[in-house]
């Protein structure tokens, strides 16, 4: 009887509305119900793109306008506390609530007024997560002297997710915070990367979805993380290198689809001497190809095997192109692969572990469920090679299905390359295209869409500004406000392909200097956004309360696990990690609110006083 009474009490508690007028999210059963949808129809104000004219001036001091983007992939509204949010010597300090499923680009304009000392410039924005006791703060501050004098600090210590200090990478170049999860499920944020096998971590959420109904990060020209210089050409790091980290680290950073361009580089005087390399050239069939080589194919294979050994259960696509030879002194056109060369290439690919041979080819891979691939190799997952064989001649092998080497046609995709030299034009083209793909109802034009969120500029521009700077300053950050606000549970690309995944400051490529925006976006899109599409996801969103067993503290096999364990350390802007900081350590927080400090509710401080939040968690 006591058990029944307790059950009745728990059931009655589930019928209550959450705080502050949020909708009733009480679990009625385990199915997805449209009335449980939390995705907000409220669209935050439009953001701004960094003008390319500012790209070279990232290290130039003051004055400056900085953008801070916050992405909310949770069922909770992020509510700005205007009574606590304040700024000093900021001409503009524009912040607001972040609705569920939305992003907002906030603004901090360091003063243009003469006679002000930029050392004192600072501002703090305070947020609470509606329906929870969780809070987080964002600080805009300075560090003078320094090559990057403006800093942004995300302080999630009130969520048990630590703090991170970022160098602002350039004037009007956004710094981004992505948060996903929920109060019942646990929260995850983009301050650092979690486990490499993020797909396995949400297996129960995505296992029954078609592959084209997943959201996956992808990397453009994935093997070009360095210039190995095997081709005597104009290709250099500024205009040819497209990634800052190896394939191994790209996998750890969340990438699951790789644009891999493999070719042979031949001795110009003895073409029988050659090696297999990752290449990036303007035209692999040209008489004189311009570009260069990156990682060796053997390196890529070792890196993939290292990752899958450490992180079982993932689905990884390699879309392989070129498959042709180029002389190390480009001349006389391409060298087409012979049967022996193709077989040698296949032999190398056989060295990749967790390939998936003899898959069902009667169903295109994009139409298969994710679990079909993730369950392969005893649950260790699947590494799929998909070959674009346009450069292979008739009479040579084009696939080896038994070895898990397939033609690219087995994965039907819409590969949308904008081919435009401007961030805003690329963003508008990509979002316009993915909004034509139907993910609900009759699933009109439902496809595996690859959105190439990349710039295509001429060689003079890329050499002057660099591919890295064009990616990390104007282009990648625009994905998180412009791109995200044009996504919904029914509207999203399958893959977003980027340059320089994880990199946020020019030249800072070590693991602890990377940031996890794309990694966290992928988890959040699958965990939150797509889970609210009941035409795709038949089960109740894992981020909503899961029912009586969970309320009673009983573990359920069907409940997904929180993806990242609690961590409350600090990552400083140079990548230094302090796992156990002293109590009260909050980089950028000011002890004294100076006269002239302005609160967002209109209050002005007329004499210096102690910051009441200085000792707060």
Please give the DSSP secondary-structure letter assigned to residue 552: T
Statement to judge: residues 486 and 524 lie in one domain: no
Question: Among residues 481, 506, 531, which one ends one of the domains?
Answer: 506
Give yes or no: residues 132 and 225 share one domain: no
Question: pTM of whole model > 0.85?
Answer: yes
Query: Please, which pLDDT band fits residue 15 given cuts at 50, 70 and 90?
Result: very low
| Local confidence band at 29 (pLDDT 50, 70, 90 cut-offs) | confident
289 located within any domain: yes
Q: How many Å separate Cα 139 from the centre of its chain?
A: 22
What is the reported pLDDT for 614?
A: 80
Query: Is the residue at 382 inside a domain?
Result: yes
Q: Is the pLDDT of residue 154 over 80?
A: yes
Tell me what pLDDT residue 566 has.
77
Whether 586 and 472 map to the same domain: the answer is no
201 band by pLDDT with thresholds 50, 70 and 90: very high
Average pLDDT over residues 302-330: 98
Query: What are 484's two structure tokens?
Result: 């995200």
Decide if pLDDT at 580 tops 80: yes
Last residue of a domain, one of 460, 476, 506: 506
Residues 486 and 552 in one domain: no
When pLDDT is cut at 50, 70 and 90, the band that residue 112 belongs to is confident
Give the span between the Cα atoms of 182 and 129, in whole angstroms.
9
For residue 357, what are the domain limits? 209-506
Instruction: Give backbone dihedrals phi and psi of 507, rounded to 5 degrees, phi first.
Output: 80, 0
Q: How far apart are CA 455 and CA 234, in angstroms?
A: 19
User: Among residues 453, 487, 506, which one ends one of the domains?
Assistant: 506
Angle 179-183-184 (CA atoms, 0-180°, nearest 5)?
125
Helices 339-349 and 297-310 cross at an angle (nearest 10°) of: 30
Percent of the residues in the chain that have a pLDDT greater than 90, as a whole number: 85
Q: Which of 337-341, 504-508, 543-547 has the lowest mean pLDDT?
A: 543-547
- 158 and 250 together in one domain: no
pLDDT (0 to 100) of residue 1: 41
Name the pairing type of β-strands 570-571 and 163-167: parallel
Q: What is the mean pLDDT of the chain?
A: 92
Residue range 265-279: mean pLDDT, rounded = 98
310: nearest Cα among 401, 235, 224, 248: 248
The SS3 call for residue 100 is coil
CA distance readout (Å), 612 to 406, 574, 590, 593: 63, 29, 10, 9
- For residue 63, whether the previous peptide bond is cis, meaning omega lies within 30 degrees of 0, is yes
Which two structure tokens, joined as six digits, stand for 436?
């034509």
Number of H helices, E strands in the chain: 15, 26
CATH for 259: 3.20.20.190
Q: How far apart, in Å, do the first and last CA atoms of the chain sit?
A: 43
Confidence of residue 11 (pLDDT cuts 50, 70, 90): very low
pLDDT grade, residue 24 (50/70/90)?
low
Q: For position 613, what pLDDT does the model report?
A: 83
Tell whether 458 and 527 lie within a shared domain: no
Q: Please check whether residues 297 and 152 belong to one and the same domain.
A: no
Parallel/antiparallel/unpaired status of strands 257-266 and 216-219: parallel
pLDDT band at 26, cuts 50/70/90? low
Is residue 273 domain-shared with residue 318, that is, in the same domain?
Answer: yes
Is there a domain that residue 125 lies in?
Answer: yes
Q: Which range is least confidently modeled, 34-48, 51-65, 125-139?
A: 51-65
Same domain, 525 and 493: no
Sign, CA dihedral 533-536-538-539, equals negative
User: Would residue 585 count as lying in a domain?
Assistant: yes
Let me know whether 473 and 538 are in one domain. no
Same domain, yes or no: 568 and 430: no
Render the burial of 198-225: b for 16+ CB within 10 Å, e for the rest: bbbbbbebbeebbbbbbbbbbbbbbbbb
Domain annotation covers residue 137:
yes
Q: What is the mean pLDDT of residues 31-43?
A: 96
Query: Looking at residue 156, which CATH number applies to its domain?
Result: 2.60.270.50
Burial class of 580 by CB neighbour count within 10 A (0 to 12, 13 to 18, 19+): exposed
pLDDT value of residue 27: 58
DSSP E strand stretches across 59-121: 64-73, 78-80, 86-88, 90-94, 102-110
Using alpha carbons, list the distances in angstroms from residue 530 to 129, 197, 425.
21, 19, 26
Closest to 303 measured CA to CA, from 251, 265, 253: 251
Q: Is the pLDDT of residue 506 over 70?
A: yes
Closest to 159 (Cα-Cα) out of 192, 131, 137 = 137
For residues 192 and 176, give the distance between their C-alpha atoms in angstroms, rounded to a whole number: 12
Cα–Cα distances in angstroms (integers) from residue 52 to residues 171, 333, 428, 465, 612, in the given order? 10, 36, 17, 9, 40
**Is 546 a member of any domain?**
yes
Residue 3 has pLDDT above 90, yes or no: no
Q: How many domains does the chain have?
A: 2
């Amino acid at each position: 009887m006591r058990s029944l009474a307790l059950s009745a009490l728990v059931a009655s508690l589930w019928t209550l509305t959450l705080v502050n007028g949020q909708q009733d999210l009480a679990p009625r059963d385990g199915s997805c119900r449209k009335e449980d949808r939390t995705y907000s129809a409220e669209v935050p104000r439009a953001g701004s793109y960094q003008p390319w004219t500012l790209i070279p001036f990232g290290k130039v001091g003051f004055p400056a306008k900085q953008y801070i983007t916050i992405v909310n992939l949770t069922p909770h509204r992020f509510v700005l506390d205007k009574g606590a949010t304040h700024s000093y010597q900021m001409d503009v300090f524009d912040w607001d609530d972040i609705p569920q499923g939305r992003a907002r680009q906030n603004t901090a304009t360091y003063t243009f007024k003469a006679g002000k000392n930029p050392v004192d410039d600072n501002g703090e924005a305070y947020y609470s997560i509606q329906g929870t006791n969780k809070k987080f703060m964002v600080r805009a501050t300075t560090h003078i002297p320094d090559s990057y004098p403006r800093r942004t600090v995300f302080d999630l210590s009130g969520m048990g997710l630590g703090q991170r200090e970022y160098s602002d990478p350039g004037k009007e170049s956004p710094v981004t915070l992505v948060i996903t999860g929920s109060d019942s499920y646990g929260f995850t944020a983009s301050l650092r990367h979690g486990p490499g096998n993020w797909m396995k971590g949400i297996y129960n959420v995505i296992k029954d979805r078609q592959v084209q109904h997943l959201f996956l990060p992808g990397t453009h020209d994935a093997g070009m993380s360095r210039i190995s210089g095997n081709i005597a050409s104009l290709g250099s790091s500024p205009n040819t290198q497209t990634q800052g980290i190896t394939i191994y680290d790209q996998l750890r950073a969340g990438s699951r689809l790789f644009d891999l361009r493999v070719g042979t580089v031949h001795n110009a005087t003895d073409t029988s001497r050659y090696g297999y390399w990752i290449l990036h050239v303007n035209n692999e069939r040209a008489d004189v190809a311009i570009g260069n080589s990156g990682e060796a194919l053997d390196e890529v294979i070792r890196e993939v095997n290292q990752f899958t050994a450490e992180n079982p259960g993932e689905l990884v696509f390699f879309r392989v192109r070129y498959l042709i030879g180029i002389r190390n002194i480009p001349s006389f056109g391409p060298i087409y692969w012979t049967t022996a060369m193709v077989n040698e290439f296949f032999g190398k690919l056989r060295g990749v572990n967790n390939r998936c041979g003899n898959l069902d080819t009667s169903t295109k891979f994009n139409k298969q469920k994710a679990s079909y691939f993730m369950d392969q190799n005893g649950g260790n997952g699947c590494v799929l090679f998909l070959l674009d064989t346009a450069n292979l001649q008739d009479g040579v092998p084009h696939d080896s299905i038994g070895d898990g080497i397939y033609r690219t046609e087995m994965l039907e995709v819409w590969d949308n390359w904008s081919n435009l030299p401007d961030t805003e034009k690329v963003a508008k083209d990509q979002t316009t295209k993915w909004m034509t793909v139907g993910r609900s109802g009759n699933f009109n034009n439902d496809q595996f869409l690859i959105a190439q969120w990349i710039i295509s500029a001429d060689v003079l521009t890329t050499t002057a500004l660099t591919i890295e700077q064009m990616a990390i300053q104007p282009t990648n950050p625009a994905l998180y406000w412009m791109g995200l606000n044009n996504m919904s549970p029914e509207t999203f690309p399958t893959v977003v392909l980027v340059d320089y995944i994880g990199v946020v400051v020019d030249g800072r490529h070590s693991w602890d200097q990377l940031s996890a925006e794309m990694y966290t976006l992928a988890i959040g899109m699958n965990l939150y956004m797509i889970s609210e599409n009941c035409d795709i996801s038949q089960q109740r969103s894992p981020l909503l309360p899961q029912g009586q067993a969970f309320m009673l503290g009983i573990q359920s096999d069907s409940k997904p696990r929180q993806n990242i364990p609690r961590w409350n350390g600090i990552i400083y802007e140079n990548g230094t990690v302090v796992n156990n900081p002293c109590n009260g350590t909050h980089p950028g927080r000011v002890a004294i609110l100076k006269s002239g400090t302005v609160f967002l509710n209109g209050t002005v401080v007329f004499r210096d006083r102690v910051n009441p939040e200085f000792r707060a968690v």
